[in-house]
């Protein structure tokens, strides 16, 4: 078993100290060899896990493809939407690794707790609804499953991916609310209505709404929106307490995916004509277009709508407090909105 780390110094230190720099509190198993040499890491591999920040996946996938033997599957563990293209992670892999079998892993899984052997459940998706469940999902599940790590199988990679990308943005929103001193009611509302945004985007991309109610959607959403172990929640909490984005990110070695995903998810939603007001509010706050108080007030005073999906398009009632709200982008995206 091999672990590839891009920086030679970090790889050498991890091999020597038996500590992963991104998970320093847990010793690496003696069977794991750490290297910065990608050729050495991939030699003879039977399965490759791609665990890199979403915006670097394309480059890494291209490098892996040129070195990996034909037919060896990859498991995509990155979560997000590529900024430049609006592609999901599996679309990036399909483009850069043509003909390569792949599956995707997502779900509520803080790495530290999984490393401690705490019970953890995730989703592994491969194939599509047009075919029988891809056997690759089952093969990967059997490979990774342990007495404490339980994978579930899915034939909806798109739905699984949408949950993993959008939850990062919603976790920032929940963190902002917590940092602002708001209580449990706002967090519950953000989680529930954020889930509705996930469902809309998943369906628009060809995924299944029901997938988003599983581990990779509501499971991961609940986890990241409820714990300061979540980098995205902690970042949002710092913003809510008055820090700038630069101050909140200062000194962090790990990537806060929600910062990038807020931009990529909202851009994708606009292109598809999907309403995602909470994600829009997060991005507008990060851009400085709205203050946090303006974003909160804008969300609360949007026209009143219905929850059942069948009624969503036909019920829209003006909010009684709307005349007290400042100008907002949350009820429509103006063409002249400042660029990020």
**Cβ–Cβ under 8 Å, residues 279 and 288:** no
252 a catalytic residue: no
Q: The dihedral of CA 221, 223, 229, 233: what is its sign?
A: positive
Residue 331 to residues 142, 196, 267, 272, 340: CA-CA distances in angstroms?
47, 16, 16, 16, 19
Give the Cα separation of 237 and 224 in Å (integer). 12
CA distance 169 to 62: 27
Dist. CA 282–CA 263, nearest whole Å: 9
- From the candidates 62, 79, 167, 316, which is the catalytic residue? 167
Cβ–Cβ under 8 Å, residues 176 and 236: yes
The answer to whether residues 219 and 150 touch, using CB atoms and an 8 Å cutoff, is: no
* DSSP result, 60-116: HHHHHHHHSPTT--EEE---SB-TTT--BHHHHHHHHSTT--EEEEESS--HHHHHT
Q: Which residues are catalytic?
A: 167
């Amino acid at each position: 078993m091999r672990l590839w780390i891009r920086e030679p110094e970090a790889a050498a230190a991890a091999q020597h100290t038996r500590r992963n720099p991104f998970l320093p509190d847990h010793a690496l198993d003696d069977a794991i060899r750490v290297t910065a040499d990608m050729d050495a890491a991939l030699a003879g591999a039977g399965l490759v896990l791609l665990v890199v920040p979403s915006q670097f996946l394309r480059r890494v996938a291209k490098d892996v493809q040129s070195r990996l033997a034909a037919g060896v599957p990859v498991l995509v563990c990155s979560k997000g939407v590529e900024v430049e293209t609006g592609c999901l992670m599996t679309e990036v892999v399909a483009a850069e690794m043509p003909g390569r079998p792949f599956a995707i892993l997502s779900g509520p899984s803080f790495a530290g707790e999984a490393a401690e052997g705490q019970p953890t459940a995730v989703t592994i998706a491969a194939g599509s609804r047009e075919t029988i469940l891809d056997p690759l999902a089952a093969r990967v599940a059997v490979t990774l499953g342990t007495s404490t790590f339980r994978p579930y199988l899915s034939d909806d990679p798109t739905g699984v991916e949408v949950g993993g990308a959008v939850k990062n943005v919603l976790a920032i929103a929940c963190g902002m609310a917590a940092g602002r001193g708001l209580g449990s009611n706002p967090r519950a509302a953000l989680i529930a209505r954020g889930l509705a945004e996930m469902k809309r985007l998943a369906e628009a991309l060809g995924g299944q709404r029901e997938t988003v109610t599983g581990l990779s959607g509501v499971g991961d959403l609940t986890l990241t929106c409820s714990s300061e172990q979540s980098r995205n929640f902690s970042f949002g909490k710092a913003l809510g307490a008055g820090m700038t984005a630069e101050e909140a990110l200062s000194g962090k070695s790990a990537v806060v995916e929600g910062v990038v995903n807020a931009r990529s998810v909202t851009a994708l939603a606009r292109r598809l004509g999907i309403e995602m007001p909470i994600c829009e509010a997060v991005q507008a706050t990060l851009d400085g277009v709205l203050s946090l108080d303006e974003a909160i007030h804008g969300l609360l005073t949007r026209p009143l709508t219905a929850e059942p999906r069948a009624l969503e398009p036909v019920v829209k009632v003006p909010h009684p407090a709307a005349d007290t709200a400042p100008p907002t982008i949350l009820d429509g995206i103006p063409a002249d909105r400042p660029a990020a």
